[in-house]
Chain A
C-alpha cells in the first residue's frame, strides 16, 4: 500500500514538474523564476492539510488512546512542518530575485512563519519527552492548541498588516487566475499531497518499528 503511494507520488511529481515548467505559461514580468510558485503554493496547502489531519488524529488519540492515532498525529505534524519549511524556503528563493528581498513581514509570510515555529515547538516537545505515552498525550494537546490557533494567527497578522495601512504589494498571485495556471497548481497540489501522504505513512511505520524494538 505504502509502496503504491510512493509510486503514485513519484508519478504525480513528474506530472507536476511537467505542468509547472512545461505547460504553464512563462510569466511576463518575473520570468521563469515565477515557476517556483508551483512548488511554493501547493506546499502550504499540503502543510495545512497535514496539520488538520494531525490535530484530528490527536483528538482521536485522546479519546481512544490508540497508539496508531498518535503515530499518525506525530507523523502528520512532522511532515506538515517540513512542507511548511519548503514553502518558506521556496518563498525566500522566489522573493530575492523578484522583489529584492529574502524576507518581508507581510501578512502571508508572517502567519506562515508563526505557524511554522509553533509546530517546530511541537517537534521539540516530543523530542524532549522520553516516555512514549506521555509524549503522545502532551503532543496531542499541543497540536490541538496549535491547530486552533492557526485562524487566530492569520486574522491577527492580516489585520496587523492591512488595517490603517496600504495593502501589501508583495502578495503573490493575482485575483483572476488563468485556467492553465490553476490546473498546474492543482496538479502539483495533488502530487505533493500524495508525496506527503507517502511520507506520513513511512514515518508512522518507522515510529511503530521503534516502539516494537523497545517493548
Chain B
C-alpha cells in the first residue's frame, strides 16, 4: 500500500538523517541534563520537596524537550529546500504527517527513556512496580505532544518568528495532556493502582485521538503552498 510506504519512507529518511547528523538527539540530551541541574539548584537539596514535585519536574523536562525537538521537525525540509518537493508528491499528504510523527516519537522515546533514567539516578526514585503503568502514561502523553507538535511545527515552519510562535501555540493546547500525565504519574509513583487513574488515562486517550484525527485530516491544508 503506497500510503504506508510513503509514511515509512518519511520516517526512515528522518531517522537516517538524524542518525548521521545527530544534531537533535545530542542537543536534547544535553538540554535534559542541564534541566536536571537547574531543577536541583532551583529547588534546593531538600529531598522531601523534590519528591513532592517530581512528577511535575519529569513532565516539565519531557514537554520542554518536546517543544525543542518538535519545533525542529521540519527543519530538515526547510534547510534542504524540500518542502515544495514534498508538496509535489502525489497522494494523501497525511502520510507525510504520519511519517514525521513516527520519526518524532522514536526520537522522543529515546530522550524520555534517558531522562527517566537520569531522574532515577539523580533524585533516587524507586520506580519498581510503577514502571509499566508509567510507561503507558508516558506513551499516551508523548503521542499527544507529538501529534499536535508535528502539526504546529508544519504550520510555523514557514512563518516569521517561528521559534517563538511554536511554543506559544503548543503549550496552551497541551495543558490537558500536561495535567493528565502529571496527575497520573503522581498517583503511580505513590503506588496507586492503574485503575485509580483511569479517568486521566481516558482523557489522554481522548486527547490523542482528537489530535491525531485533526492532524491527519488537516495536514493537507498546511502543506499546500
Q: In the complex, is A directly touching B at CB under 8 Å? A: yes
Which residues of chain A have a CB within 8 Å of any CB of chain B? Answer: 62, 114, 117-118, 121, 124-125, 128-129, 134, 137-138, 140-142, 144-146, 148-149, 152-153, 155-157, 159-160, 163
Among residues of B, the one whose C-beta sits closest to the C-beta of A62 is B221
A34 smallest CB distance to B (angstroms): 30
What is the distance, in angstroms, from B28's C-beta to the closest C-beta of chain A?
Answer: 24
Please tell me which one of the listed residues B155, B173, B176, B221 contacts residue A155 in the complex, with CB atoms under 8 A apart. B176
Q: Which of B148, B175, B206, B214 contacts A114 (CB 8 A)?
A: B175
Q: Count residues of chain B with CB under 8 A from any CB of chain A.
A: 31
CB distance from A63 to the nearest CB of B (A): 10
The answer to whether A129 touches B159, judged by C-beta atoms less than 8 angstroms apart, is yes
Contacts A129-B159, A138-B155, A144-B218 known; 13 new A-B pairs at CB < 8 A: A114-B175, A124-B169, A128-B159, A128-B160, A128-B161, A137-B221, A145-B211, A148-B214, A152-B206, A157-B175, A157-B176, A159-B183, A163-B199
Can you offer 30 A-B residue contacts whose CB atoms are under 8 A?
A114-B172, A114-B175, A118-B172, A121-B165, A121-B168, A121-B169, A121-B172, A124-B165, A124-B169, A125-B155, A125-B159, A125-B169, A128-B161, A129-B160, A137-B221, A138-B159, A141-B222, A142-B169, A144-B214, A145-B214, A148-B214, A149-B173, A152-B206, A152-B210, A155-B203, A156-B175, A156-B176, A156-B180, A157-B176, A159-B203
In contact, A125 and B175 (Cβ under 8 angstroms): no
Whether A159 pairs with B173 at a CB distance below 8 angstroms is no
- CA gap between A125 and B160 in the complex, in Å: 9
| Cβ contacts under 8 Å, A117 to chain B | 172
Chain A interface secondary structure, helix, strand, loop or mixed?
helix
A208 to B206, CA, bound (A): 38
Residues of A within 8 Å of B148, CB to CB, are: 145
**Knowing A125-B155, A128-B160 touch, does A156 contact B221 (C-beta < 8 A)?**
no
> Which B residues form the contact surface with A (CB < 8 A)?
148, 151-152, 155-156, 158-161, 165, 168-169, 172-173, 175-176, 179-180, 183, 199-200, 203, 206-207, 210-211, 214, 218, 221-222, 224
Given contact pairs A125-B159, A125-B165, A145-B214, A160 touches B172 in the complex (Cβ within 8 A): no
Residues of A within 8 A of B210 (CB): 148-149, 152
Tell me the bound Cα distance from A160 to B24 in angstroms.
34
From known contacts A121-B169, A124-B168, A145-B148, infer whether A152 and B203 are also in contact, taking CB-CB under 8 Å.
Answer: yes
A153 adjacent to B176 (CB under 8 Å): yes
Closest to B173 in A: A149
Say whether A149 contacts B176, CB under 8 Å: yes
Pairwise interchain contact A141-B214, C-beta atoms closer than 8 A: yes
Cβ contact within 8 Å between B207 and A152:
yes
B159 contact set on A, CB distance < 8 A:
125, 128-129, 138
Q: Which chain A residues lie closer than 8 Å to B165 at the CB level? A: 121, 124-125, 128
A153 to B175, CA, bound (A): 7
List residues of chain A with CB within 8 A of the CB of B160: 128-129
Report Cα–Cα, A160/B179, bound state, in Å: 7
Distance in Å from the Cβ of B171 to the closest Cβ of chain A? 8
Q: Do A159 and B218 touch across chains, with their CB atoms under 8 A apart?
A: no
In the bound complex, residues from chain B placing their C-beta under 8 Å from that of A114 are 172, 175
On whether the beta carbons of A146 and B173 are closer than 8 Å, the reply is yes
**B167 CB to nearest A CB, Å:** 10
